[in-house]
Amino acid sequence: MARQPTLVGNTVLLVIDIQKSAFLKSEGGIPHMPGYAENMMRARGVVDAAHANGIPVVFVQEIHRRDRIDYGRELDGSEDIHCMEGDPGTPVAFEEMGYKPGDYHVPKRRYSCFFGTEMEILLRGLKAETLIFVGGMTDVCVHYSFADGHQSDYYCRVVADCVGGTSPQAHQASLNAMEYLQEGAVLSADEIIGAMGNRQMAAE
């Protein structure tokens, strides 16, 4: 099928689970591929570009109650306890990511940012057509959120050097799977920042 433009209509940046744990060496619970923290910090440039070009930014946060009642089947796999209320790694990395008043914050209890959250209501209010994904994990929360966005008929874009997976192999496999769903979906930070600037110039 025909490849779509990089950004179509109203665009929203989704910052998936960039939380303090990404930058705490002692924080366990989930394995990270080499270079994970560097990829998360690189996402700051995409956030800054979104702010500069009038693109809404939504910070998504995985968070679980201390009694573990909301983990469901999440702990049946490879992950240990993580993202619990009150833990030092759980807060969103607002300072590192350049949060500004007017940005949005959506907590979630499951991998997909669409499952059991206000995301659909928020995106409808923003009249979103294109979603840009940065954050982690490429093969878990980013991939599942991307797939749900795709199935909700959004144009979905993932910034390959601003996401990180549980391993390099899992990271690349998920990028390939997302590209399979929407041709041209996988882009670099430079490409997506350039597209944001071009979009703004076209609007002026």
- Give the tokens for residue 116: 């059991």
Please indicate, yes or no, if residue 101 is contained in any of the structural domains: yes
Q: Closest Cα to residue 47, out of 57, 38, 39?
A: 57
Say how many C-beta atoms besides its own lie within 10 A of residue 112's C-beta.
Answer: 21
Please indicate, yes or no, if residue 24 is contained in any of the structural domains: yes
Please indicate, yes or no, if residue 120 is contained in any of the structural domains: yes
pLDDT at residue 52, as a whole number: 97
Q: What is the pLDDT of residues 120-163, one digit of tens each?
A: 999 999 999 999 999 989 999 999 999 999 999 999 999 999 99
pLDDT at position 83 over 70: no
Domain of 180, CATH number, reads 3.40.50.850
- Give the tokens for residue 37: 């923290």
Q: What is the pLDDT of residues 84-104, one digit of tens each?
A: 787 887 888 999 999 999 999
Rg (CA), the chain: 16
Alpha helices in the chain (DSSP H): 36-52, 94-97, 119-125, 143-151, 168-181, 189-203
Please indicate, yes or no, if residue 33 is contained in any of the structural domains: yes
pLDDT at position 55 over 80: yes
pLDDT at position 67 over 60: yes
Please indicate, yes or no, if residue 4 is contained in any of the structural domains: no
pLDDT band at residue 78 under the 50/70/90 scheme:
low
- Look up the domain containing 170 and give its range: 11-203
Q: Closest Cα to residue 174, out of 152, 148, 144?
A: 144
Please indicate, yes or no, if residue 2 is contained in any of the structural domains: no
Please indicate, yes or no, if residue 106 is contained in any of the structural domains: yes
pLDDT at position 201 over 80: no
Please indicate, yes or no, if residue 75 is contained in any of the structural domains: yes
Domain tally, the chain: 1
Q: What is the pLDDT of residues 17-36, one digit of tens each?
A: 998 888 887 555 678 899 99
pLDDT at residue 137, as a whole number: 93
